[in-house]
Amino acid sequence: MVRFPSPIETPAQPGTTVHDFTSALGATTLANALIGFIFAASGPVAVILAVGTQGGLEREALASWIFGSFFINGLLTIAACWIYRTPMVFFWTIPGTVLVGPALTHLPFEEIVGAFYATGLLMLLLGFSGWVRRAMSAIPMPIVMGMVAGVFLQFGTAWVQSVVVDAWLAGTMTLVFLLLSALPSIGKYLPPLISALVAGLLVIVFDERIAVEAAAVDQWFTLPQVITPVFSWQAMFELVLPLVITVLVVQNGQGVAVLHSAGHSAPVNFITAACGLWSVFAAVVGTVSTCLTGPTNALISSSGERSSHFAAGIVVGMLALVFGLFAPVFTQWMLACPPAFIATLAGLAMLKVLQAAFTTAFAGKFQLSALVTFLITVSGISILNIGAPFWGLVCGFGVSWLIERSDYREPV
């Protein structure tokens, strides 16, 4: 039996066996796992490539980042699902990835990786302290989501620009996505985002628009880059607090809510500590912080017997190991596609998240604070060489205490 120090939640009793796993495998379980994995390996990967290429990262660094995102987090996914017999898929923080984008324009990657280490250590301490639940409830979600909306906005505008610049490719992908979103009975079997990806690939192949030389595979297996971290106050101030809040409040909060809605009890302290420890492991190869994913966990627990959902999570973890090992191949193929393909795929993947961010930020309390946070984040200002997301949070909290203090007295 696995034992964890208090306050980490007790694992499943009795322990999971191989028979438990194999007996939970069925057509529905495997289908949900495959759909959940394909979702993670499509739009979210496009976000990494979009941020990384804009920030000047080389192809090898991007492949290493993707290796950590899938292989390292796949190991955690398998272990967590097995130990707790609960569907808990861990990947990387997409909002955190977007936060890194502006920092790449003025900070060396080694300093950003140093912030990844610091973020992981802070989350690890929070997980073992047992303070996470109280901390999550003390932070006004509208202000946090105002920041998230600000950093995600660029993906929405890049998608619109792609439709104008490359209407045949981006327009086809968008049309397929919207049609299947409008027809949920069909979209249940043909997920809109995955179908948009396939439609885009068909257009690229039909028009012979892939860069053949760039797509030629010269390395099949991942040789992860070990990034030596550099710890700077500038990177710490700019990235650590926004990353911690993004992982714990936005990503893990969403993931825990998804599990609860599916009837699963999520071990919050374990999740926090695991995200912290694995963020340190992932930082070794230059990967952004680990989080409990919301969409993938929602997909694998959307149907079938509740007791079999954990097996779908394990299958997702196994598929992630394979994807991570072959990260250079997928990275090379994606980068060989037209820029509009990645921009459209990333933009479509962000639509629902961006919609949820605006709804949470401006539908209830702290509306002015959320607006201030959003505007400062969108402005892209840099003060003391610290980026706009940090200052958006600081000013948003300041406005909330000065003008909207009464909102703290009532549930948000």
DSSP conformational letter for 327: H
Q: How far, CA to CA in Å, does 164 sit from each of 156, 169, 335, 403?
A: 13, 10, 21, 41
Please state, rounded to an integer, the average pLDDT across all residues of the chain: 84
Q: Is residue 409's pLDDT more than 80?
A: no
Per-residue confidence (pLDDT) for residue 112, from 0 to 100: 95
**Domain-wise residue ranges, the chain:** 18-354
Mean pLDDT of 306-330: 90
Does the N-terminal peptide bond of residue 14 adopt cis geometry, omega within 30 degrees of 0? yes
Q: Taking residues 348-356, what's their average pLDDT? A: 77
- Give the per-residue pLDDT at 25: 87
Confidence of residue 146 (pLDDT cuts 50, 70, 90): confident
26-40, 168-182, 199-213: which has the minimum mean pLDDT? 199-213
Rg from Cα positions in the chain: 21
Q: What is the pLDDT of residues 56-86, one digit of tens each?
A: 888 888 889 999 999 999 999 999 999 999 9
Residue 246 CB neighbours (<10 A): 28
Task: Quickly state the pLDDT bin for 212 (edges 50, 70, 90).
Answer: very low
Both tokens of residue 49?
């490539």
pLDDT at residue 107 above 80? yes
Question: For residues 97 and 49, what is the distance between their CA atoms, to the nearest angstrom?
Answer: 10
Supply 216's token pair.
């030629």
Question: Across residues 314-324, what is the average pLDDT?
Answer: 94
Mean pLDDT of 145-159: 81
At position 365, the amino acid (one-letter code) is K
Listed in sequence order, the residues at least 6 apart from 249 whose beta carbon sits closer than 8 Å to its beta carbon are 136, 139, 141, 144
Q: How far apart are CA 114 and CA 286, in angstroms?
A: 9
247-256, pLDDT tens digit by residue? 887 788 778 8
Q: Who wins on pLDDT, 102 or 193? A: 102
This model's pTM is above 0.75: no
The mean per-residue pLDDT over the stretch 6-16 comes to 79
Nearest to 296 by CA among 23, 69, 61: 69
* Range with lowest mean pLDDT among 51-60, 69-78, 184-193: 184-193
- The closest of 300, 317, 354 to 152, measured between CA atoms, is 354
